[in-house]
Amino acid sequence: MPKLLNLFIELRDAIVLVICILASLVLIVLTDHDPAGPFRQVVYTAVGSFGGMLYRTGAYFRLEEEVHQLRQENAMLAFENAQLEDALVENLRLRKLLGFKESSEFELIAAEVVGQNPHDIFNGLILNEGSDRGIEINDAVLTADGLVGKISLLDNDYAVCQVLLDRNSRVSARIQRNREQGIVAWDGGAELELLYVAKTIDILVGDVVVTSGYSQIYPPDIKIGLVTGVSKDNEGMFQKISVSPSVNFKRLEEVQIIKSQNVHGR
């Protein structure tokens, strides 16, 4: 059907011409004695209306085809734009990682996140590097944004990182502003808690929480997150302090592993 319409549109001028010629012949034969007769006027009107209809029909289908083509081009441009934006984000991410690695005082091993830990023992990430690269159990894992966790399972060519969002995770931490110390643990949801901070201590929303360095696993001053809530209304002598992780655990693609001898040798 579309092919027939296209053919009809392409031949519309020829069709109108043929109709006009036939109408002229009819007028010459039937109304030659009266050039301005009523019949001639009817024929003129009919031919003109039919020609206008053909023109409008052709214009409509040409416009529809142009709109369809423009939609295709717009979809292609949108796809190409999304690819460019993704490439820009990836470029910025890799530049950030490279700058972090160059400025770090530790020897770092880069690893890609290739999956989630299939075991129910702890929440973890599967990394594509293992003991063949010198990685050991309890090596600290981080990104340019902050602390991720530690190596808890290991094989020759892969490792599993226990992340901070795990019920068994505990990290010695302190508030960067006033050096007050506590223990960071998972709150069971998307955030962390800073535990064992007395109610007499001044803690503010927005305070930066970092590793304390009192550990054989985590070196000092690695960013953990920001304080998002402080409550002293609970029972007991300690505050309830909520901490938002500085690392987005849902979007981790690559991490850095600190070789254990760098930490132990400090």
pLDDT in tens, 28-57: 555 545 554 555 555 556 555 655 565 565
Work out the pLDDT band at 67, boundaries 50, 70, 90: confident
Residues 195, 170: Cα–Cα separation, whole Å: 10
Q: Which residues contact 184 (CB under 8 A, 6 or more apart)?
A: 164, 169, 170, 171, 172, 173, 192, 193, 194, 195, 209, 224, 225, 243
- Tokens representing 95? 């530049």
Helices 12-31 and 2-10, packing angle to 10 deg: 60
pLDDT on residue 266: 39
pLDDT at 133 over 60: yes
From CA 45, how far away is CA 58, in angstroms rounded? 20
Question: What's the mean pLDDT when you consider all of the chain?
Answer: 77
Distance CA 166, CA 188 (A): 8
Residue 167 tokens, joined: 């019920």
Q: In this prediction, what percent of the chain has a pLDDT beyond 70?
A: 59
Tell whether the model's pLDDT for residue 60 goes beyond 80.
Answer: no
**What element of type H or E holds 147?**
strand 147-154
**Poorest-confidence range of 62-76, 143-157, 201-215?**
62-76
Read off the pLDDT of each residue in 117-137 and give the average, rounded to a whole number.
85
Better-scored residue on pLDDT, 66 or 37: 66
pLDDT in tens, 89-106: 555 655 655 655 555 567
pTM higher than the cut 0.85: no
Is residue 198 a contact partner of residue 175, using CB atoms and an 8 Å limit?
Answer: no
Dist. CA 16–CA 27, nearest whole Å: 16
* Burial label, 247 (beta-carbon count in 10 A; 0-12, 13-18, 19+): buried
Which one-letter DSSP state was computed for residue 238? B
d(CA 172, CA 249): 20
Helix boundaries (H) for the chain: 2-10, 12-31, 38-103, 260-264
151-191 pLDDT, tens per residue? 999 999 999 999 999 999 999 999 999 999 999 999 999 99
DSSP H/E element including 175? strand 171-175
Torsion of CA 252, 218, 110, 143, to 10 degrees: 40
